[in-house]
Chains A and B, each alone.
Chain A
């Protein structure tokens, strides 16, 4: 007994972190449903937080696995009247699951369409019988008319509206209400009143009332609401296209070279780290890896948004999902499955789409009180019409009551934010802009100051030869060729820059016959019988550089460049200057930001002079040099203290605190994992123009959300007074419940269509 207790204690003390799992939630139709599912999940013991997204039909739950498990969460959702299915964490299973989910949605869409067609047809027929007196005046007197309308309207009410009843009922059991409650109460009132009037007309006649029929109102409303749902479900299926397009990029098979040179085609999920994969012209690269042999130009636009193919050769990294050009090459797989860049991108986009924008919280809170308030308004409307309205007052009261309930359905409200975020993040992903969470979108449009890290963000991040001053009489090319041949064996970044400069000029390098290296000073090699030294002044001063031109060296130092001197056979060869150069698109990115009215700032660990030089070259407003690693975050904090909304753009570990401190952190994709984890937005390709692009995309997405909310509120709030008959005393005009249903369907479709416009929005 004591032993078990200790065991349990140990188990409780075990630091079990909160788990995070996703659930597919089916059956949600509006913001109220989202609220119900969220509160159902949150009320389970051990659940820390639950984020429910209507557009993706996902619930993202953080919970303590020691207190609650997955089946308990599924049961909680089911008790609230919705369907739930845990999303598997295994990538392979997820493929099959997504397929099942897609099939499920398609079959649901088919069922919805059947309900829609039948309900609309029967509703139209009922309408003909209701209005037919205009063509055939005797119709009203036909004794069979009420029974015929009953026969036509009943299937619509019982079968067509069944989904509304089901959800409204489960909401009622939990003493909550949602938009389905509004539809159910409204149409049931119309239908029920008509049934009584058909079979027991005496009840009305005795009270001195006319037994009016409202079958067509009930049937047509159900038909129109179903139409709205159907169009919305179809449009909603398209908002997730961007993710599906990303997933479709992945290769299905890979051609693997086994030891001994045998080639074998295997399914992608059997690929393992260390496999040698062969890529032929036009094929998709199967997974992430490093090229072993062969050269090709590779189209990485699907990941980076950069349309120019990148030349790659042995030693270069390739990413799965990119498209091979005309060359053939083989590479060693370094990452497979969910570790690959493509899988990480897909995961990030999914998480962003499931995250909730702060603006949506407000919408949810409004939606939670909306339905009860509407009921109160509808009841007041009914009572006022009944006692103060003109004759037949009951008819007017019922008409206005139903119209208010129907027009107020908050379905467009629930779609306004999530659909815009889904389409916006998807659009970003296709241009190499990964939006990590919806908050980043909201913060991005408020940004006024953009602070840039220098190295790796605005510059290429490795030195290049910028100046070359030849001093020997056998030509610059020959000097560079000998120096580069000597440097070839060295691993130093400065040496690599010299080799690159020679290769750019197409100079044939040779192998040095001897080589030695003095750390921090330079190299000494014998190339084709020449004694070659490349290094700093101290290293070559006794080999022909006794009278080095100080002015040249000082000028280079002043510009923040590193001078490298070459001595050949004890005589001066050349003075080279090496510096980290700005990325080709950096100046354009800065110019675009300034055109958008933003202030730009360069924060660098280099000397103030170097920082100033780069800032001037790129057109950046202000430069801050000699910033120690920890100080970048302080600078951001100081700017925020001045009341500015700051975006920080960086790539390194030392940028991470500043990225986290900034209102919006933009991480360069080529950078370190820490930086990427701290960024709200990640630019996959490392193109600085991604900064203005992502800010523009954020502005457009938020503008779309605001337009959507306007349309949703406009329909709901502005039309409620009309439906209640406020205008009647002045103009004699009363909104028909049928038009109310039409307006509601249109508002949902307007909102989704407006969000889909983001797919083609200009962000360049």
Chain B
């Protein structure tokens, strides 16, 4: 199982974190998301494609760095 990690500078609080996990949850192949508010990182486990995750992050207003 692959793990992809993104630096997302726009994460500020737990609210952002739940918005992001809600946005990523319906994506095909996403099995779990782990969002670290302090580090401003999003970690996605599963078989989802990097391209799709980046696009969804961008569309939900949290562009990956």
Contact = CB atoms under 8 A, between A and B. Distances in A.
Interface string B16-60: 000000110111110000000000000000001111101110011
B56 A290 contact: yes
A518 interface: no
B49 A334 contact: no
B25 A259 contact: yes
B49 A332 contact: no
Q: How large is the interface on B (under 10, 10 to 19, 20 to 34, 35 or more residues)?
A: 10 to 19
B3 to A, nearest CB: 10
Interface residues of A, number: 17
A336 to B, nearest CB: 13
B49 A276 contact: no
B2 interface: yes
B22 A314 contact: no
Interface string A399-415: 00000000000000000
Given A314-B28, A315-B49, A274 B23 contact: yes
Interface in A263-297: 274, 276, 289-290, 292-294
Contacts of B27: 292-293, 314
A472 B2 CA distance: 29
A599 B26 CA distance: 51
B65 to A, nearest CB: 12
Contact of B55 (A257, A276, A294, A315): A315
A383 to B, nearest CB: 77
A334 B57 CA distance: 12
A749 B49 CA distance: 60
B50 A332 contact: no
A110 B22 CA distance: 55
Contacts of A236: none
A259 B22 CA distance: 7
A330 interface: yes
A57 interface: no
Nearest to B48: A314
B55 A290 contact: yes
Interface of B: 2, 22-23, 25-29, 48-52, 54-56, 59-60
15 contacts: A274-B60, A276-B26, A290-B55, A290-B56, A292-B27, A293-B27, A293-B29, A314-B27, A314-B28, A314-B48, A314-B52, A315-B49, A315-B52, A332-B26, A332-B60
Given A257-B26, A292-B27, 20 more contacts: A274-B23, A274-B60, A276-B26, A289-B59, A290-B55, A290-B56, A292-B26, A292-B52, A293-B27, A293-B28, A293-B29, A294-B28, A314-B27, A315-B52, A330-B26, A332-B26, A332-B56, A332-B59, A491-B50, A491-B51
Pairs A-B, 7 closest by C-beta atoms = A293-B28, A315-B52, A314-B52, A292-B27, A276-B26, A292-B26, A315-B51
